[in-house]
Amino acid sequence: MTRHVLGDTAVMLDRSIKHVTRSLDTIITVTIMPIAFLLLFRFVFGGAIQADTDNYTNYLMPGILLIAIASGISYTGFRLFMDMKSGIFERFHSMPIARSSVLWGHVLTSLVSNAISVAVIIGVGVVIGFRSSAGLLAWLAVAGVLTLFTLALTWLAVIPGLTASTPDGASAFSYPLVFLPFVSSAFVPTATMPGPLRAFAENQPVTAIVDAIRALFGQQPVGNDIWLALAWCSAILVVAYAFAMAAYRRRIA
Amino acid sequence: MATASPAIRVNGLRKSYQKRSVLRGVDFEVARGSIFALLGSNGAGKTTVVRILSTLLRPDAGTASVHGFDVGSEPLRVRESISLTGQFAAVDEILTGRENLIMVGRLRRLGDPRGTADDLLDRFGLADAGGRRVGSYSGGMRRRLDIAMSLIGDPPVIFLDEPTTGLDPEGRIEVWHEIRKLARGGTTVLLTTQYLEEAEKLADRIAILHEGTIIVSGTLAELRKLLPPARVEHVEQQPTLEEVFLSVVGKQA
């Protein structure tokens, strides 16, 4: 059975990846907005922001990457919704395959397509002055944190993908996620924010993840941030996965 | 599994959604290699029966077996024995026709998915369209591809849920032709339809599902006996519009 799970998941991944590569507009949409934010903050607002750094592009980068992922996963919700609507979801479930491969195909596709967007955005970042002294190990750690973050948000996206009644509903849930980095340490130090806002900003997951990635890029000690970031991502992943599986079981016998 | 035992056996099937009772004790049997039509108006519960038989939905009460396997306790064996062609043609619009067939072939673990795909494209008159995305197909081509996908792996039982809904007369005749070929090859076909003519033309046995139960079932000749014997009358037989349509576009019913 294990061999079937892997083989069937490979077929599903292949199918879903074709959906991504044949609608390149989705990758463009997903990368354009974060790149626009990157340019906006670097060249328009950047001069007025006192972030206590000599390279504001470096400061921005982690938050921009999280925005890219938060908007990228909405396509997973959308593609899953379209599968439910079209009936191909039921066709797969009436076939002698490992049923888990149907969802995992979408989840793995999300990891691949978000990795592509992240790479494109880092490329643009390098062009406008992003520099990192990080070694291989630190880069791997960044990749690990971003992968875990993508995995957690993707399972979150599976929930509306399975339960929404319109395609807009299946993807709209990601808007608040895209907004979350703005109320965090992603663009400005949280110390500049008024009391309650600052309390929220300092205790929400994006701040911990951004601080951890920023430290890894800058060869700084990561301290507790990395553990806090991993704890947040793992917690979101576990809760989202549980709800997604519950929604899945309601849809299919 | 004795060959004499029926391909499909349904006993006392019940299913409710919330308070609405859709199936209220459905019983029928389908002999191997026959075409069985489940006839009923919209909302009669035809699709619910098919979803239960294809292991997509659990009944509230009653038992059902397909190809000798119980749908509740041996769902995987049932899935190995069936193919489902849904009311809304469950094909992948972004993939090409050939890729759709290869995908199903790989999921059914065929030795040569490509060869099988090419054979089926030929057989269903889709050889020229095989390299095009399904999104550009006509309704009839899509339905033929859908049926071709169902034949991969030669399942002994095929469920066709309203296979001709939304097709033009030519498309409907093509699909009928394929269904007859299937039954001649020994496949058991369970067909749901709301078109009386379709059941009359294709089915060996017909069951009428009305308000959640089978109110009559039998061969066409048996059903005809339910009404008073035919009287001999002289009626000027005008061609039907369908006959006119088919003769001017050059097809035979």
Residue with tokens 């999921």: B107
Which has more pLDDT, A132 or A146?
Answer: A146
The per-residue pLDDT for range B35-73, each reduced to its tens digit, is 999 988 888 889 899 999 999 999 999 999 999 999 999
Percent of chain B at pLDDT > 90 equals 52
Q: Which residues of chain A make contact with B90, given a CB cutoff of 8 A?
A: 86-88, 90-91
Are B55 and A95 a contacting pair at CB < 8 A?
Answer: no
CATH of residue B14's domain is 3.40.50.300
Identify whether B36 is part of a domain: yes
Identify whether B2 is part of a domain: no
Total count of domains within chain B: 1
Identify whether B245 is part of a domain: no
Identify whether B46 is part of a domain: yes
Q: Is the distance from CB of B8 to CB of B30 less than 8 angstroms?
A: yes
CB pairs under 8 A between A and B: 67
Distance from C-alpha of B189 to C-alpha of B176, rounded to nearest angstrom: 12
DSSP codes, B152-196 = TT--SEEEEESTTTT--HHHHHHHHHHHHHHHHTT-EEEEEES-H
Identify whether B3 is part of a domain: no
Q: Does A88 touch chain B (CB under 8 A)?
A: yes
Distances (CA, A) of B104 to A190, B90, B116, B142, B212: 53, 12, 10, 15, 33
The per-residue pLDDT for range B142-160, each reduced to its tens digit, is 888 998 999 999 999 999 9
Are B87 and A23 a contacting pair at CB < 8 A?
Answer: no
Identify whether B196 is part of a domain: yes
Q: Does A92 touch chain B (CB under 8 A)?
A: yes
Confidence of residue B96 (pLDDT cuts 50, 70, 90): very high
Q: Which structural domain, as residue segments, surrounds residue B180?
A: 8-230
The per-residue pLDDT for range B201-210, each reduced to its tens digit, is 899 999 999 8
Of A22, A23, A90, the CB nearest to B86: A90
Q: Does B105 touch chain A (CB under 8 A)?
A: no
Phi-psi bin for A223: left (phi > 0), alpha (psi -120 to 50), beta? left
